């Protein structure tokens, strides 16, 4: 191998390496372009070496390039000119250099450079065979320099490298493709290259040994080639036949699988199309990918093809909000109630379509939305709630008569009959005692039935969403202490200890004071009820962003099988045939509803014979809540009516009360109670008669039922309160309905529900009559002028005498001068200047009721001290 030949191989090899390196870089990057140009330049040098050498041979020139770098020996074998490569080597460098330039520069088609590379391989292979067959003319041309054996081998390797540079394109693609043709090409190519030269060598060896002449040798070569390639063809055909059989089987199985998939898809489509629930599949771009007829009907889109349409152009409101939320976090599952056409309601559930990929992890493909029309269920729930409410309400009317007349009978017996009966006879004495006990049983059971009706109404209204919640910032510890104080008599009657573990300065929660007190009293009462000895402990702890309340008792405990039933309606756990404390079975379900409304959780832990622990958690109020001027005026008026009243006036002489009720037994019961208190009573059986008597008699007070024929009580109250002749008459609503909000908006003064406690009724009547025609004095203190004017306008319209103050100085001056019955003051202003403490402790206004307007929305906190 001459020096120029070696240099050509080095440059060609480096050029090929540079081309492979630049293929791994980013397209059009600066480094890739630099490597491409360098590879092209090196291939061009290889081309130039071959071209100049051939020119020297053809024209007899000597450019001095043969010994440019190295001097050749003068006695070198097979050399026509010192240092000059063989003509066939120069020709190969010419074509491989040109092929390298075409590869590096991406010129012409791939087949062109591959044809040049294949040509170089054949020339080199011919030289290789020359050395194998010892035929000089195959590697040397006349007296010119001969191609060395290792040069031929190097050219073959270089050509193969060029051919494989782009093996997936052009001529080489047939060898690398993954199919039957590629498999056959890969099998036959080595045999086609190796076997003919081997057979030629055998025939040539026999010929040189004079075993046969030329004609026989050529015939043998032809026969051997036929046999060898026939065997190769048979072997490949057999292999291809096996592959084709597998392919046919695979295609048959694929057709079966496709048919099964089509059947499954048709079955699935039939299921989807016949679903009663609406189905909507949305892709990542927010476009409809699939839907079913139920969805089209739910939204009134019959006759429209929604596929491919943008969701925002088809659907509105809550559904689009759900889609937006799920796109932010596809792993969540969201539910919401949405509006459908024709006044229907739908319950929508949406989830992301997430697939697991080993390489890329979880990927979201879109979202699927399922909508159920819950209109019928809501109507059934409403009918059930209305039915329960109606039945419970209708029970109140006869129950009022039963309890009322029973108390009248009890009072008359104790006051007028029993004192006249001689008690010397033991039988008479026992009879009197039995009669008294029986009456007490009637009253006790009537009160229990009243509690049951109230609980049924409570839970029915909670389930129907008709409860009005009054949220305010509360100290949970203060609620717990008040509940313990309220249930003190229960502890004393059973002789057990009440323990309280309540930290001071607990963070506030946002809740309904009355409802939370109801929960505490219910849980503590239950604990006392089922504890015969030991103690009941109320403990409050802060756990993260929640307060956790635990009511722990040492009572009989609850069996494990009954723990799941504790919060079910009308369920009382344990043995129903044994003697156990009575209850309605609704107290704990009501507690559960209340706690869950406040965003909390309630549960129980218990072991039979070792006591129970009922616990619930409530979230803390959000810190830094902004002050709002939105006032609950109805709640304020109710607080005023309930709190800012003087003591009842027992002087009932010449006071006339109009009793209005369509039930004669109720009217008679109320007449007897009021007459017994010294009032004069007149009656009306319906709303129209009530209005006529109110205008004619102008009674001092009206006791009014709501549910009456011709005109209901609310309408009667509205007429009377809007008539200057009757607007000053106090009105007490006495009804089976619990719609206090409506009553207070009309302007009634008291709202009592049947069955009414006669003492509460007499006290309310006495309190209202003691006011006469005068007005209650209220001092309003607030720095916000808008709030001040709004409250003043509302309270003056309701008959109050109002005095205003805009700061703490005016508040103190006006309070000392006017001596109001109530002071309504902004809680922030009161806390900043200690207004309550100043007026009560320093200015002697200890009997004034303070009503604080809280900084939380809808929160109006009443004074814990009411004189």
Phi and psi, residue 50, nearest 5°: -65, -40
Please state, in angstroms and rounded to a whole number, the distance separating the CA atoms of residues 333 and 329.
9
Chain segment 345-384, per-residue pLDDT in tens: 888 888 888 776 655 566 778 888 888 888 888 787 777 7
Tokens of 762: 């007499």
For domain 777-862, the CATH superfamily is: Response regulator (3.40.50.2300)
Strands (E), 276-344: 278-283, 288-291, 333-339
Tokens of 720: 């009377």
Chain segment 244-297, per-residue pLDDT in tens: 888 889 989 999 999 999 999 888 888 888 888 888 898 888 888 888 888 888
pLDDT higher than 60, residue 842: yes
Nearest Cα neighbor of 780 from 821, 832, 839 is 821
Write the class of the CATH domain 471-619.
alpha beta
Q: Which residues pair with 701 in a beta bridge?
A: 657
Q: Is the dihedral of CA 157, 161, 167, 169 positive or negative?
A: negative
pLDDT at 464: 64
Contacts of 163 (CB under 8 A, 6+ apart): 114, 117, 118, 121, 171, 172
Nearest Cα neighbor of 655 from 641, 675, 635 is 675
402-411, 521-530, 639-648: range with lowest mean pLDDT: 639-648
Answer CATH for 634-771 from 3.40.1360.10, 3.40.50.2300, 3.30.43.10, 3.40.50.300? 3.40.50.2300
Nearest Cα neighbor of 145 from 48, 72, 96 is 72
344 three-class SS: coil
pLDDT confidence bin for 385, thresholds 50/70/90: low
Q: How many CA atoms lie within 13 A of 280 on its CB side?
A: 30
The torsion of the CA quartet 480, 486, 489, 494, rounded to 10 degrees, works out to -30
Answer CATH for 275-373 from 3.30.450.20, 3.40.50.920, 1.25.40.20, 3.90.1530.10? 3.30.450.20
Chain segment 391-441, per-residue pLDDT in tens: 666 776 677 778 778 888 888 888 888 887 777 777 887 888 888 888 888
pLDDT at 632: 52
pLDDT higher than 60, residue 699: yes
> Would you list the domain boundaries of the chain?
3-176, 275-373, 378-463, 471-619, 634-771, 777-862
345 three-class SS: strand
pLDDT at 256: 92
Alpha-carbon radius of gyration of the chain: 52
> Which one is predicted more confidently, 84 or 603?
603
pLDDT at 781: 85
Nearest Cα neighbor of 707 from 382, 448, 407, 400 is 400
Residue 231's Cα: distance from chain center in Å? Answer: 71
- Tell me the C-alpha to C-alpha distance, in Å, between residue 424 and each of 421, 428, 429: 9, 8, 7
pLDDT at 653: 56
pLDDT at 862: 44
Tokens of 227: 């046999």
Residues in the chain, overall count: 867
Q: Could you tell me what percent of the chain has a pLDDT over 70?
A: 84
Tokens of 123: 């020339």
Please state, in angstroms and rounded to a whole number, the distance separating the CA atoms of residues 468 and 638.
14
Cβ atoms < 10 Å from Cβ of 799:
17
Angle at 805 between CA 802 and CA 806, to 5 degrees: 140
pLDDT higher than 90, residue 764: no
Please state, in angstroms and rounded to a whole number, the distance separating the CA atoms of residues 336 and 350.
9
231-240, 682-691, 816-825: range with lowest mean pLDDT: 816-825
> Which one is predicted more confidently, 56 or 831?
56
Mean pLDDT on 190-207: 84
Mean pLDDT on 614-626: 73
Per the CB < 8 A criterion, the answer to whether 79 and 140 are in contact is: no
Please state, in angstroms and rounded to a whole number, the distance separating the CA atoms of residues 367 and 291.
12
Q: Which of 79-93, 329-343, 578-592, 696-710 has the highest mean pLDDT?
A: 696-710
> Which one is predicted more confidently, 854 or 298?
298
Phi and psi, residue 629, nearest 5°: -100, 10
Chain segment 204-248, per-residue pLDDT in tens: 888 888 888 888 888 888 888 888 888 888 888 888 888 888 888
ω into residue 755 within 30 of 0, thus cis?
A: yes
Per the CB < 8 A criterion, the answer to whether 113 and 65 are in contact is: no
For the chain, the first-to-last Cα distance in angstroms comes to 123
Please state, in angstroms and rounded to a whole number, the distance separating the CA atoms of residues 297 and 367.
21
The rounded mean pLDDT for the chain is 80
Q: What's the 3-state SS for 599-662?
A: CCEEEEEECCCCCEEEEEEEECCCCCCCCCCCCCHHHHHHHHHHHCCCCCCCCCCCCEEEEECC
Crossing angle of helices 149-165/87-105, nearest 10°? 20
187, containing H or E segment: helix 180-208
Please state, in angstroms and rounded to a whole number, the distance separating the CA atoms of residues 40 and 28.
16
Tokens of 12: 């060609």
Please determine whether the domains at 634-771 and 777-862 fall in the same fold group of CATH.
yes
Please state, in angstroms and rounded to a whole number, the distance separating the CA atoms of residues 475 and 472.
10
pLDDT at 703: 94
Angle at 280 between CA 278 and CA 283, to 5 degrees: 175
pLDDT at 603: 92
173-187, 204-218, 521-535, 771-785: range with lowest mean pLDDT: 771-785
DSSP 570: T
Please state, in angstroms and rounded to a whole number, the distance separating the CA atoms of residues 483 and 475.
13
Per the CB < 8 A criterion, the answer to whether 509 and 545 are in contact is: no
Nearest Cα neighbor of 732 from 771, 701, 775 is 701
Tokens of 4: 């120029």
Please state, in angstroms and rounded to a whole number, the distance separating the CA atoms of residues 82 and 75.
9
DSSP states of 760-824 as a string?
HHHHHHHHHHHHTT---EEEEE-S-HHHHHHHHHHHHHTT-EEEEESSHHHHHHHHHHH--SEEE
Angle at 149 between CA 144 and CA 150, to 5 degrees: 120
Per the CB < 8 A criterion, the answer to whether 341 and 328 are in contact is: no
Per the CB < 8 A criterion, the answer to whether 646 and 771 are in contact is: yes
Please state, in angstroms and rounded to a whole number, the distance separating the CA atoms of residues 130 and 706.
124
């Amino acid at each position: 191998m001459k020096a120029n030949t070696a240099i050509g191989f080095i440059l060609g090899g480096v050029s090929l390496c540079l081309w492979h390196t630049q293929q791994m870089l980013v397209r059009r990057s600066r480094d890739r372009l630099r490597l491409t140009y360098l590879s092209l330049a090196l291939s061009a040098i290889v081309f130039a070496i071959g071209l100049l050498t051939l020119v020297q041979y053809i024209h007899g020139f000597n450019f001095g390039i043969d010994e440019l770098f190295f001097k050749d020996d003068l006695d070198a074998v097979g050399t026509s000119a010192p240092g000059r490569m063989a003509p066939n080597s120069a020709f190969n460098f010419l074509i491989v250099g040109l092929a390298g330039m075409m590869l590096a520069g991406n010129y012409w088609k791939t087949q062109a450079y591959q044809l040049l590379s294949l040509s170089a391989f054949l020339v080199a292979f011919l030289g290789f065979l020359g050395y194998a067959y010892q035929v000089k003319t195959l590697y040397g041309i006349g007296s010119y320099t001969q191609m060395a054996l290792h040069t031929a081998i190097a050219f073959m390797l270089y050509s193969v490298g060029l051919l494989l540079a782009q093996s997936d394109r052009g001529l080489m693609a047939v060898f690398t493709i993954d199919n039957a043709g590629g498999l056959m090409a890969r099998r036959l190519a080595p045999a086609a290259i190796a076997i003919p030269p081997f057979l030629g060598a055998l025939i040539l060896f026999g010929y040189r040994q004079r075993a046969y002449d030329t004609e026989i040798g050529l015939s043998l070569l032809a026969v051997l080639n036929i046999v060898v390639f026939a065997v190769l063809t048979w072997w490949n055909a057999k292999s291809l036949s096996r592959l084709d059989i597998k392919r046919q089987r695979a295609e048959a199985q694929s057709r079966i699988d496709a048919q099964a998939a089509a059947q499954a898809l048709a079955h699935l489509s039939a299921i989807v199309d016949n679903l009663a629930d609406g189905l909507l599949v949305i892709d990542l771009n927010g476009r409809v990918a699939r839907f079913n007829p139920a969805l089209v009907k739910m939204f009134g889109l019959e006759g429209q093809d929604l596929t491919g349409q943008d969701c925002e152009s088809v659907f509105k409101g809550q559904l689009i909000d759900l889609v937006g939320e799920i796109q932010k976090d596809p792993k969540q599952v969201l539910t919401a109630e949405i509006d459908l056409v024709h006044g229907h309601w739908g319950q929508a559930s949406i989830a992301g379509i997430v697939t697991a990929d080993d390489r890329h992890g979880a990927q979201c493909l879109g979202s699927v939305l399922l909508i159920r029309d819950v209109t019928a269920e809501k109507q059934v729930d409403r009918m059930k709630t209305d039915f329960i409410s109606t039945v419970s309400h209708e029970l109140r009317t006869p129950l009022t008569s039963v309890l009322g007349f029973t108390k009248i009978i009890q009072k008359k017996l104790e006051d007028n009959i029993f004192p006249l009966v001689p008690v010397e006879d033991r039988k008479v004495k026992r009879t009197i005692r039995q009669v008294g006990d029986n009456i007490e049983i009637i009253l006790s059971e009537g009160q229990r039935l009243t509690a049951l009706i109230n609980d049924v109404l409570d839970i029915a209204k909670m389930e129907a969403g008709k409860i009005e919640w009054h949220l305010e910032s509360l100290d949970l510890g203060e609620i717990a202490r008040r509940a313990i104080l309220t249930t003190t008599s229960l502890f004393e009657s059973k002789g057990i200890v009440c323990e309280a573990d309540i930290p001071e300065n607990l963070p506030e929660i946002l809740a309904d004071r009355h409802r939370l007190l109801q929960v505490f009293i219910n849980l503590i009462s239950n604990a006392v009820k089922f504890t015969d000895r030991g103690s009941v402990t109320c403990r409050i702890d802060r756990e993260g962003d929640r307060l956790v309340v635990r009511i722990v008792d040492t009572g009989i405990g609850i069996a494990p099988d009954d723990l799941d039933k504790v919060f079910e309606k009308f369920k009382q756990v344990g043995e129903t045939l044994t003697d156990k404390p009575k209850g309605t079975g609704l107290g704990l379900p009501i507690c559960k509803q209340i706690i869950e409304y406040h965003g909390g959780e309630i549960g129980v832990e218990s072991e039979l014979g070792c006591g129970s622990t009922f616990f619930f958690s409530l979230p803390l109020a959000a810190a830094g809540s902004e002050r709002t001027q939105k006032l609950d005026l109805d709640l304020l008026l109710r607080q005023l009516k309930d709190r800012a009243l003087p003591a009842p006036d027992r002087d009932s002489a010449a006071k006339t009360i109009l009793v209005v009720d369509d039930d004669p037994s109720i009217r008679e019961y109320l007449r007897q109670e009021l007459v017994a208190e010294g009032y004069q009573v007149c009656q009306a059986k319906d709303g129209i008669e009530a209005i006529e008597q109110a205008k004619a008699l102008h009674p001092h007070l009206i006791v009014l039922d709501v549910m009456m024929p011709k005109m209901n009580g609310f309408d009667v109250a509205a007429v009377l309160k809007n008539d200057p002749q009757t607007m000053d008459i106090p009105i007490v609503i006495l009804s089976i309905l619990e719609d206090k909000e409506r009553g207070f908006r009309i302007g009634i003064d008291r709202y009592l529900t049947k069955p009414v406690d006669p003492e509460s009724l007499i006290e309310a009547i006495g309190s209202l009559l003691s006011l006469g025609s005068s007005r209650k004095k209220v001092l309003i203190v607030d720095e916000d002028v808008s709030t001040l004017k709004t409250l003043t306008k509302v309270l003056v319209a309701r008959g109050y005498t109002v005095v205003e103050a805009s700061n703490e100085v005016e508040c103190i001056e006006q309070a000392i001068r006017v001596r109001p019955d109530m002071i309504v003051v902004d809680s922030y202003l009161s806390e900043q200047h200690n207004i309550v403490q100043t007026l009560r402790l320093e200015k002697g206004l200890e009997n004034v009721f303070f009503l604080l307007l809280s900084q939380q929305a809808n929160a109006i906190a009443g004074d814990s001290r009411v004189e």
